[in-house]
Structure 1
């Protein structure tokens, strides 16, 4: 159970929410919604105990399982399977059991008895933690999230960003926590895994707070909605499901508008009367009282909802370049004994549009990182053509320097721009005032997405490498990104699970990994996008 009392959240000097009060207990499945930058991620971090409110208190009863938007695992050498099992401490028990089994097989008789006794204690501890049934449960969750055995036996450091995030999701779902806090859990999931997750959460008996832009998931899962209104710095609690919430919210907005219009009309009449009465000295006090009544009428009203601001994304005309600004010959990559792909070649012509498809782990992100010069191929080479200027959008935002401010990241992307020009672009991406001076590391996933896209806008790139650019975006911001893709005149190489992004790109070619085969794009490939 999680209880919030009088919680106030701030981002620098900006008020995100004040006096929020709620309790999430067993059976309450909450959808936390609001536009990008409203403070949803900040709130979940505070609820998880990874941040402190500016005011108020948060109390937690029982175990809380928290999936952040960009989970970071410190030890990348740990096997994926052990990472999942660590949620219940089973990984350490299993490791010690295996070590003890080895001792039992190799030591002399007088030591073997001690090893056998230690093994019996470990086995009892293993059974108390759920034993083989728990292992089977973890395996089922992993398989449902498209994490096969070959992936689970690999160190986390060899996995793609999407695979690592699915490992973290599996770990949280396996943890047996009393309350789950899930921030965009469907990112990097294929269609089958999303359907499974919906069914899993739909019958979840513990507490749940989920941030998601997946309307189908919200409709199927949540029985309460918390709307974080960025314009009013208020958290509105609706004790209904998704569809009824939409109706209730619209009714609330109509009520606010109606009440304000009536109050403004009455206040206007009172002020006009007060102005007339002020002309007479004998009625000065009455006029003053009438003016105060008018002010009181307006001060007690809730603000009408203002239209949510949306980042304005427009790519400028790309820098001039040769006919084929980038080519790749014979690229291959292997992690240990795992061959990701081999002998991949492609040539990207000026203004061309290519979508890269493949199952999770097929090397889509690795290929983009090679083209972007971030990762070296084991064989082959990437050749820059005349005038190449690359812009790389990384799905985990690793191109951002999280230790530097928003403004400093933008200056690095385009040193030639003046401070005023940089701040103007940032303003169009909804970073204004003190927001520009925040460290990039404290931004939410949606804010990092906006900042990364802003750096692309000022880069003048003529080839864009885009890895899941619509993740973490609210519907309105996503439409802005898709519209920018349609209008961009340079070349684009896109990796995405978003069918809408592919349709907006209107690609000419498709590259299929891990084989590296190329084909002309046709609608038949659209079915592979969400499965990839």
Structure 2
């Protein structure tokens, strides 16, 4: 259980949440919603004990499992299976058991006897942590999140970003925590895994706070909704499910609008009457009192909700280039004996649209990183054509320098632009005033997405490499990205699980990984997008 009392949350000088009191008890499945940048991720970090409130207190009883938007995966040399088992400390016990088994085969009686005694103690500890049933539970969770045995036996550094995130989700679900805090848990999940996760969370008996833009997930899972209103810096608590929340919130907004209109009408009448009475000295005091009543009437009223702002996005007008600005031939990537893909060829013609499909772990992100010149291929080459200007959107936002500010990142992306022009672009992406001076490391996933897209807008790129560009976006911002995809005149190579993004792109070709087969796009491939 988590209890927050008089909680105040700030981002620099900006108040995100003021004097909020609430509780998340066993059986509460809370959907935490609000526009991008409202402070949902910041609030969740504080609830997880990884951040400090500006005022107020947070107390928790029982273990809290926290999945951040950008999960930490610890030692990247650890096997994926051991990372999951570490949630209950079982990885160390199992490793010690295996080592002790070897010593039990020693020819030295003393060494063997000590090993046998140690093995008994370790086996008792193993059973106390759940034993083989817990191992089986971990394997089942991993399999349900599309992490097969082959992947579990690999070190984390050999996995894709999506696979590592699913390892972290499996670890949190396996932890047995009484309260779960999940920030965008469906990112990088295929359709089957999302369906399984919905059923798992719906049946979860502890407390749950979930941030998600997946409306179908919220509709099935949540029985309470906390709406973080960025305009009022307040947390509106709705003790109902998703559909009832939508209806009740709309009713609340209409009520606030009505109340404000009535109050403004009354205040205007009072001020008008006060102005007339001021002309007579005998009624000056009465006029002053009437004016104060009008001011109090307005001051005590909740501000009318301003429509949520959305970044206005248009991808750049592409710079002139040759007929085929980007070509790749014979690309391959392996990790040890594991072959990810081999002998992949791709020619990106001017203005062409290509979607890359493949199951999780097939190497889609790896291919885009090779095309972007970030990762070298094991074999093969990437050939830039005449006039090539690349724009790369990375799903993990690794193109952003997290130690520098929003403004500094934009200056690096567009060194030819003056400070005024850079700030103008940032303003259109909802980074105004002090927001432009924030270090990137404190941004939410949605804010990082907006900044990464802003760097593309000023790039004049004629080939865009887009890796899951709609992740972490609210519906209105996602619509902006889809609209920008439709109107962009340059070439695009797109990796996505979002069927709407593929529909907006209207691809001419599809590249299937890991085999590297290329084909003309047809509607039959649309069914593979959500599975990719």
Q: What do residues 294-314 of structure 1 show as CA deviations (whole Å, max 9, x unaligned)?
A: 111111111111100000001
Q: Does 1:377 align with 2:377?
A: yes
Q: Does 1:472 align with 2:455?
A: no
Q: 1:47, 1:158 → 2: CA distance?
A: 32
8 Å Cα contact 2:316-2:459 kept in structure 1: no
- Unaligned residue ranges in structure 2 (runs of 5+): none
Q: Does 1:265 align with 2:265?
A: yes
Q: Secondary structure at the match of 1:73?
A: coil
Q: 1:414, 1:48 → 2: CA distance?
A: 37
Match of 1:318 in 2: 318
Match of 2:162 in 1: 162
Match of 1:446 in 2: 446
Q: 1:18, 1:252 → 2: CA distance?
A: 19
C-alpha displacement at 1:261, in angstroms? 1.0
Match of 1:389 in 2: 389
Q: Does 1:101 align with 2:101?
A: yes
Q: 2:386, 2:434 → 1: CA distance?
A: 40
**How is 1:325-474 mapped onto 2 (pairs within 5 angstroms)?**
325-474=325-474
8 Å Cα contact 2:316-2:456 kept in structure 1: no
Q: 1:391, 1:280 → 2: CA distance?
A: 70
Q: 1:106, 1:391 → 2: CA distance?
A: 60
Q: 1:8, 1:208 → 2: CA distance?
A: 21
Aligned length: 532
8 Å Cα contact 2:162-2:360 kept in structure 1: yes
Q: What do residues 399-455 of structure 1 show as CA deviations (whole Å, max 9, x unaligned)?
A: 000000000100111110000010000000000000000001110000000000000
Match of 2:60 in 1: 60
Q: What do residues 54-113 of structure 1 show as CA deviations (whole Å, max 9, x unaligned)?
A: 111111111000000011223100000000000000000000000000111234122101
Q: Does 1:174 align with 2:158?
A: no
Q: Does 1:83 align with 2:83?
A: yes
**How is 1:216-231 mapped onto 2 (pairs within 5 angstroms)?**
216-231=216-231
Q: Secondary structure at the match of 1:106?
A: coil
Q: Secondary structure at the match of 1:396?
A: coil
Q: 1:51, 1:337 → 2: CA distance?
A: 42
**How is 1:117-156 mapped onto 2 (pairs within 5 angstroms)?**
117-156=117-156
Match of 2:44 in 1: 44
Match of 1:278 in 2: 278
Q: Secondary structure at the match of 2:105?
A: helix
Q: Secondary structure at the match of 1:36?
A: coil
Q: 2:490, 2:11 → 1: CA distance?
A: 36
Q: Secondary structure at the match of 2:274?
A: helix
Q: 1:348, 1:263 → 2: CA distance?
A: 61
Q: 2:410, 2:3 → 1: CA distance?
A: 39
C-alpha displacement at 1:355, in angstroms? 0.2
Q: 2:192, 2:108 → 1: CA distance?
A: 52
Q: 2:313, 2:87 → 1: CA distance?
A: 41
Length-normalised TM-score, structure 1 = 0.99
Match of 2:517 in 1: 517
RMSD: 0.6
Q: 2:107, 2:268 → 1: CA distance?
A: 94
Match of 1:234 in 2: 234
Point out 4+ residue stretches in structure 1 off by more than 4 angstroms: none
Length-normalised TM-score, structure 2 = 0.99
- Unaligned residue ranges in structure 1 (runs of 5+): none
- From the superposition, tell whether residues 161 and 107 of structure 1 become closer, same or farther in structure 2 (CA, over 3 Å): farther
Q: 2:429, 2:519 → 1: CA distance?
A: 36
Q: 1:340, 1:101 → 2: CA distance?
A: 34
Q: Does 1:213 align with 2:213?
A: yes
C-alpha displacement at 1:140, in angstroms? 0.6
Q: Secondary structure at the match of 1:459?
A: coil
Deviates more, 1:292-301 or 1:130-139: 292-301
Q: 1:179, 1:405 → 2: CA distance?
A: 34
Q: What do residues 229-261 of structure 1 show as CA deviations (whole Å, max 9, x unaligned)?
A: 001111100010000000110111111111111
Q: 1:518, 1:232 → 2: CA distance?
A: 51
Q: 2:472, 2:228 → 1: CA distance?
A: 16
